[in-house]
Structure 1
């Protein structure tokens, strides 16, 4: 729990934040926070026109954005008082979706009142946050993002980013735990995610085949009703199968992120 973590957390977050983006379909690029509202100033180094409508986004430098990240995101989540790893997970979430939302989800995970303010009870509850809380926070973050209207456009990149942050945050937490073989622990996390992905993929495929085959439709029903029931069963089965496939993809991304974090140890 130290401000010394801020530079490392910022460096990791900035790896996911590119140069200038003027994508018109991104609400964050508009000063009004909605597509077509205000001026299209864009986003640079993660600093968006929606959040900072009065800044000259195009001409921002890294030296310009560091104090912004410190004051507007790190300090707003009480980053100095959060444990290593949990601070990264909360900070990166804050940069994407705002510090109040990120902190509320972090507070929910650790059992503190979800008021979006880094008070003494939040600091006390956060003191014991570890890998379980990091994973839970990342899952909440991804769930929130999945509900956004622009998920179809940005979802793939967001999902990969959250997986990467989870793995790096877990590695950050583990490396300060006495007697822990960080590389082995990350390898174990990757293996578990790979196994989960395989199980979900097989289950999804089996359900899809069953739904397409139309098993168990109730032959005693009138023909027209029977067809409706059959159609409903098929649709429901395919929806469930699709959801499992999505979860399998998410598990694969987590496995890939943990493998990458494992390989980075000792480099």
Structure 2
């Protein structure tokens, strides 16, 4: 391991990860000290070794995986104090690319490149230009929480993730401001992997389209109701009952139109927030 801060950062990550877990609701599956069975299998195969249960991972293997696949992947040694740890922890929990995307989101508007999860020259230049790493860490953690809240697994693991990110924020900001950071604490659920594949999609606009006349047949529900109004209106003058029917149809049409428009606004707004959590701008 290249720096003393990497060792300190790893100690805190391991505290958050705990020991062995295999929660059927955790998309990471069987995991030992933050290393999933899939990652361990890949590591063993790269060494020409046979695969085995991640429960048997050796300390040297654990350190090498964390060093090469997480710390080096986010260029920890090139990042400022505190920012390095925050990205490192995020990489272990959600993958290096996703953690780098949170950094890129947080660097706007200084960073003008794509939110692509690649920590290249442009991203590093923007990090160097940012003189307030304390505030930068706040924005990274905000982007991370926005992402976590969009996951279908949040109701199960949200409490643990929220506690973990709160400690990551505090520890990172302590390093960024030259203070002694607190120790990390294990909170059950915080070790569950948080992957983009578990993002809950935005609801369909089809119900709204149908309600405002764009989704069913040639004229839609609203169009059909309007046709009925037009046909019945001439008869309403001679019948109080038909007049009431015409008025009822008018009210139903108005409700459908307004409700459909409101629901479409809600769906579009939710879709924008999901897009932001996945790599666009951070919602205000």
Fold-level similarity (TM above 0.5): yes
Matching of residue 172 in structure 1 with residue 151 in structure 2? no
The match for 2:124 is: 123
- For the aligned residues, what is the CA RMSD? 3.3
State the structure with bigger RCO (CA 8 A, min sep 6), 1 or 2: 2
Question: Helix, strand or coil for the counterpart of 2:73?
Answer: coil
Distance 2:117 2:13 in 1: 21
Q: Distance in 2 between matches of 1:16 and 1:116?
A: 23
Single out whichever of 92-101 and 53-62 deviates more from structure 2: 53-62
Long gaps (5+) in structure 2: 42-50, 183-247, 264-284
Measured in 2, the distance between the counterparts of 1:3 and 1:150 equals 35
What is the CA distance between 1:182 and its match in structure 2?
Answer: 9.5
CA shift in 2, pair 1:24/1:87, >3 Å: same
Q: Which residue of 1 aligns with 2:26?
A: 26
Q: Which residue is equivalent to 1:91? A: 88
Any gaps of 5 or more consecutive residues in structure 1?
A: 30-41, 184-221, 237-267
1:153/1:133 CA distance change after superposition, 3 Å? same
| Separation in 1, partners of 2:75, 2:117 | 10
What's the CA shift for 1:109? Answer: 1.3
State which structure, 1 or 2, has the greater radius of gyration over its C-alpha atoms. Answer: 2
Of the three residues 72, 75, 78, the one matched with 1:75 is 72
- Structure 1 residues 158-188: Cα deviation after superposition (integer angstroms, max 9, x where no partner): 0000001001100111117xxxx999xxxxx
Give the match for residue 51 of structure 1. 39
Q: CA deviation at 1:55?
A: 5.5
Q: Does the CA contact (< 8 Å) of 1:89 and 1:169 recur in 2? A: yes
In structure 2, relative to structure 1, the CA distance for the partners of 1:182 and 1:56 (3 Å cut) is closer
1:149-228 matches, within 5 Å, as: 149-175=152-178
1:62 is the counterpart of 2:65: no
Instruction: Write the deviation string for residues 17-52 of structure 1: whole angstroms up to 9, x where unpaired.
Output: 1111121221211xxxxxxxxxxxx10110012434
Note closer, same or farther for the CA distance 1:119–1:133 as it changes in structure 2 (3 Å cut): same
Contact 1:27 1:50 in 2 (8 A): no
Question: Per the alignment, in what secondary structure is the counterpart of residue 27 of structure 1?
Answer: coil
**Shift in Å, 1:112:** 5.3
Shift of 1:115: 2.6
TM-score by structure 1 length?
0.59
Quote the Cα distance in structure 2 between the aligned partners of 1:5 and 1:60. 23
**Alignment TM-score, normalising by the size of structure 2:** 0.55
